Amino acid sequence: KVKAQLEEKEGKTFDVFTAVEFKTQVVAGTNYFIKVHVGNEEFMHLRVFKSLPHENEQLSLHSYQGSKTKHDELAYF
């Protein structure tokens, strides 16, 4: 659901976009920290926010970190 948001921010298209790990943080909603394989040996860490159900909003890409590897630890940011 957030692939298009990331592609727009990066100004490129990802042929590969596979989540390989995630962590959650409960706030006034939920933050998802997701490690995504985007092709070759490149990974990105995404912070995606899901609002509370009664707010009825779409998932939103809050922030991201590029130039990550498969072995980089997925940490809160």
Contact 48, 34 (CB under 8 A): yes
The whole-number pLDDT of residue 9 equals 93
Residues 6+ apart with CB under 8 A from 64: 6, 9, 44, 45, 46, 47
- Per-residue pLDDT tens for 1-39? 899 999 999 999 999 999 999 999 999 999 999 999 999
- DSSP labels, 49-70: EE--GGG----EEEEEEEEE-T
What is this structure's pTM? Answer: 0.87
Tokens, residue 31: 């933050």
The whole-number pLDDT of residue 58 equals 85
Residue ranges covered by each domain of the chain:
1-76
- Per-residue pLDDT tens for 44-59? 999 999 999 888 888 9
The whole-number pLDDT of residue 53 equals 84
Q: Yes or no: is domain 1-76 CATH 3.10.450.10?
A: yes
